[in-house]
Each structure stands twice: as C-alpha cells, then as structure tokens.
Amino acid sequence: MEKDKLTALGEIKLFEGLPQPQLKSLADIAQLRGCKAGETLFEAGQQGTHFFAVVSGKVRVYRASLSGKEQILSVFQAGESFAEVPVFEGKTYPASAQALEDSVLLSIPRKGFVELLRREPELALGVMALLSSRLRAFVGQIAQLSLKEVPERLAGYLLLLRASQGRDELTLDLPKGQIASYLGTIPETLSRAIKKLTELGLIEVAGNRVSVLDPEGLAALAEADR
Amino acid sequence: MEKDKLTALGEIKLFEGLPQPQLKSLADIAQLRGCKAGETLFEAGQQGTHFFAVVSGKVRVYRASLSGKEQILSVFQAGESFAEVPVFEGKTYPASAQALEDSVLLSIPRKGFVELLRREPELALGVMALLSSRLRAFVGQIAQLSLKEVPERLAGYLLLLRASQGRDELTLDLPKGQIASYLGTIPETLSRAIKKLTELGLIEVAGNRVSVLDPEGLAALAEADR
DNA sequence: CGGCTGATTGAATCAGATCAACTGCTGTGG
DNA sequence: CCACAGCAGTTGATCTGATTCAATCAGCCG
C-alpha cells in the first residue's frame, strides 16, 4: 500500500524530478483515498489544510451561486494537482471541488509540504510555475467571459481540445452541461452556440463527437470580438 | 542613486523581511525607472523578461479586445509587484500594463531573481503566497463576472473599498470609467448601477466621493444572485 | 417497457450594450 | 479673464445576446 502511494506520487507532474528520498517523505504524509462520482471534496470558504492530486478520475473545481448556477474554474485529471492556494495563503478554499467520476486522490497536508518546499528549491520553482500557469489560464478565462460572446468562447474551447487531442476528430471530455458551466453559460445557450458553429460550416457534431471542419475559421471566430 | 534603489526595494511588500545582503544583490540587478501617465509598460503576448514593482504611482493590468473594450484585471500601487507570471512560466505576458499616473517602477530581470529564489526559501514562500492570493482574487473575479449582475458587482467593489479605507466615507480610487472596466462593464451601465444603489438608499454619491449608508444592505446585495 | 437524466427547441423576457445627445468640468489660449 | 475645446460622466431610446420558462426528444438503466 505504501508502495502504491509512492507510485501514485511519482505520477503527479508536480513531483516529477523529485529525488526518491523526498518522494518517500511525501509518501509518509500523503493520504491515498478514493471517492465516488458526485462526491464533494470541499466547499468554497472551508478551512483548507490539504491539497490534492488526481491519481485517476476527474475533479471539477467551481463556484456556485445561491440560485444554483455554477461556474467551473478548472477540471483536473490524472497527474494534476489542485487546491494549492490555501497551502500558501489565506487558509480557506476559494472554490468548491467535486468528483465528476469515481476517482483516486492523494491528499497532502499543508504543514509537511511547506517544510519540503523549504528544502527543495527546485520543487518550489515547480510550484511557482504551476501557480503561474494557473494565473495565465484565469487571465484568459476572465478575458473570455468579459470580452467574448458564447459562440466565440466555444470556438476557443474547441481549439484547446483540438490542441490537446492532436486531431480534428474530437471527443468532448465533459458532458455538454458541464462545458456550458465552464464557458460561463447554460446548456440551452451552449446548444444554440453549437448549432451556430455547425451552420457556419465550422464543425460537425454527433453526441459527444465533434469534427473540426475549418480550424482557421474557428480560430478567426475565437479571436473575433464585437 | 544606488541607495535610492535599495530604499525603494525595501518598501516592496514582497521583499519585506529579506536580509540586507540579498536586498543588495537585488539592487544590483534591479532598474529604477519613471514612467508617464498613459504610458504602456508591456502588451499581452510580448516576451516578458522582467517583472515589476511599484515604488509610487498606479498601474493597471488589463486585457483589451480588438474592438476596444478593456477588462481590468488588477490595479497596482506603491509597494506592490506585478507581472510575475512570465518569470516562472511561459515567458510571455498574459495581459497588458499601463501607467494610470506618473509612476516610479522597479524592474527586476527574471534571471537573477530566479537565482535569488533558489537561495532564499522564505522569499520563495512569499512569492507562492503572493501568487496564491492573486489566484484567489481571480477566482472571485471570475465568479463575479459569471454569476452576478452589475449592481451586485458594484456593491462588492464598494465593500472592498470600504474595508481597505476603513470608513464609510469612501474616495473612489479610480475614475469611474476605469471602475466600469474593472467590473466588466461600460461607463453607461456603471452609471445606472450607481443610480440604482442610490435609489435603494444604500449609498450616496458626489463626484468621486461615496458614502456608504447601509453596509449590511450592500453586503446583502453583493451576496445576492439571480 | 416505463422513468430518469441530459440535451434540444421554441417563445417570451430581461440585463446590458450600443448609439446619440447632452451636461459639467478643466485647462488652455486668445 | 473669458471662451471654447476636450474629456468624463450622465441620461434616454433602442437593439441584441443570453437567460428563463416550458415543452419535447433521445438515450440509458432498472
């Protein structure tokens, strides 16, 4: 079991390149746990003493409004870590997290991790790079929400998917309702945006399969603004 | 001049508590420079080899759309640093920066700073805390943009100002047009939102002076959603 | 074969953007 | 010292993208 934990830790991108002894000391303090699809890991505002890494499965991080609308901030998959913010600052989670699928997670307590960072400047630089990339992503998300309309945001999202999947035949990584929530809208509006891109001849959609017919056109739309 | 630089560095929050010799070595690599109101410091997408700290004045960081609409991400004042992202990741600025007033800035090259971080774990932790607090702020901003309407966002903004100024008689720190851009809207809409809060008896406004008449009411509105 | 959830479509409504006109202030130059 | 140019802000009228509400449809599991 201890060994599983060690393997799991080694598969987290943030810990790549960490020397074996340090990995071991992480394994001493990390917890390995499973969780069911739909399970809430934490809620915005709660005290956050641990941060997490995804060994398998999928977790969404989001903010909810009282009326039930939700904005997804990110979705994390195997190898990624999340909820680092309260480790370094403020101590409460700025958002909520929920498993989208049955998942296996590592949870790492704040205390021991900070100790490790003091001793491992390269790991610290890795954390700074990770936080920075997240900042960059958020800057993009804020700009999209504020400056672009839904079809343009959708075009941008599809281009991201295309880049990550490396081909024009895409498989949507999330149910459409969740994509809507990530794009800052609702399923009805997403549905109409998809129809619009289809009518423009940019994509073809069947279920959760999307064919990108005109990447340049999509890119042009994604860049466009009012 | 060298001494001024040292003093200036000492007044940057991020460098508080840094031992004198390290401050000196920072002073060796940092540049002190003035800039005029309206001057653009960098544009989104440019290579970013330096990051900045504000000695005096005010700088806004924003993203612009082709059509001219702008979304302000943050405004930085004396003692604050910004544009750290390209130091650690990706190398390009995710947003643009422009001086709002005549300002004095420190610019610190990536290279030497990373070296310093390797040797100074406490500074590294400070940087992580800073990046984390920025992430927290962006999470809030995304949630506001996506989940709240303009009057609610305005209420939230005024409550922040009230907290930072410590009293109910506020002085707006930015021209209203810039506040609109920060709230993700346009001056006309902000103007109407102000009118609405006034009619609700929550605030009173004269020029850039705002009196908070009903903090609880403002808070209730800021929490509210559709 | 029901019944549930996710997705789609249509119609009505609404918040916010756009366009245009107007006010008031500031600072500059005749 | 006054006049006027110019910018920030306000107000009104209109337009539009997105949400809301409601109904329907498709696929999936028991």
Q: B54-64: per-residue pLDDT in tens?
A: 999 999 999 99
pLDDT given at position A224: 77
pLDDT given at position A4: 84
Q: Measured between CB atoms, does B220 come within 8 Å of chain A?
A: no
| B63-103 pLDDT, tens digit each | 999 888 999 999 999 999 999 999 999 789 999 999 999 99
- Asked whether strand D has any atom less than 7 Å from the CB of B150, the reply is no
H or E segment and range at residue A3: helix A2-10
Query: Domains of chain A (ranges plus CATH)?
Result: 5-141 (2.60.120.10), 148-222 (1.10.10.10)
pLDDT given at position B90: 78
φ, ψ for residue A143 (rounded to 5)?
A: -60, -45
Q: Measured between CB atoms, does B133 come within 8 Å of chain A?
A: yes
Bridge partner residues of B63 (DSSP): B71
Average pLDDT, chain B: 95
Q: What is the mean pLDDT of residues B105-131?
A: 95
H or E segment and range at residue A55: strand A50-56
pLDDT given at position A3: 59
Q: Measured between CB atoms, does B127 come within 8 Å of chain A?
A: yes
Tell me how far apart the terminal alpha carbons of chain A are, to the nearest angstrom. Answer: 56
pLDDT given at position A86: 97
pLDDT given at position B1: 53
- Say yes or no to pLDDT of A209 above 60: yes
pLDDT given at position B67: 87
pLDDT given at position B3: 59
Q: Quick one: tokens of B218?
A: 């403002």
What stretches of B13-149 show up as alpha helix (H) in DSSP? 20-29, 85-88, 110-119, 121-147
How many Å apart are CA A137 and CA B112, to the nearest integer?
26
Long-range contacts of B152-156 (CB under 8 A, 24+ apart): B152/B221, B152/B222, B152/B224, B152/B225, B153/B183, B153/B184, B153/B185, B154/B183, B154/B190, B154/B193, B154/B194, B154/B197, B155/B197, B155/B202, B155/B218, B155/B219, B155/B221, B155/B222, B156/B222
| B158-173 pLDDT, tens digit each | 999 999 999 999 999 9
φ, ψ for residue B184 (rounded to 5)?
A: 80, 30
- Say yes or no to pLDDT of A84 above 70: yes
pLDDT given at position A151: 98
How many Å apart are CA A170 and CA A158, to the nearest integer?
8
Q: What is the mean pLDDT of residues B49-55?
A: 96
- Say yes or no to pLDDT of B224 above 90: no
- Asked whether strand D has any atom less than 7 Å from the CB of B77, the reply is no
Determine the length of chain B: 226
The owner of tokens 């001049």 is B1
Cβ atoms of B202 and B214 within 8 Å: the answer is yes
Measured between beta carbons, which residues in chain B are less than 8 angstroms from residue A140?
A: 94
| A2-34 pLDDT, tens digit each | 558 999 999 999 999 899 999 999 999 999 999
Using CB atoms within 10 Å of the CB of residue A107, give its burial: 0 to 12 exposed, 13 to 18 middle, 19+ buried.
Answer: middle
DSSP-based three-state secondary structure for B49:
coil
CA atom of B19 to C1′ atom of C21, Å: 60
H or E segment and range at residue A174: none
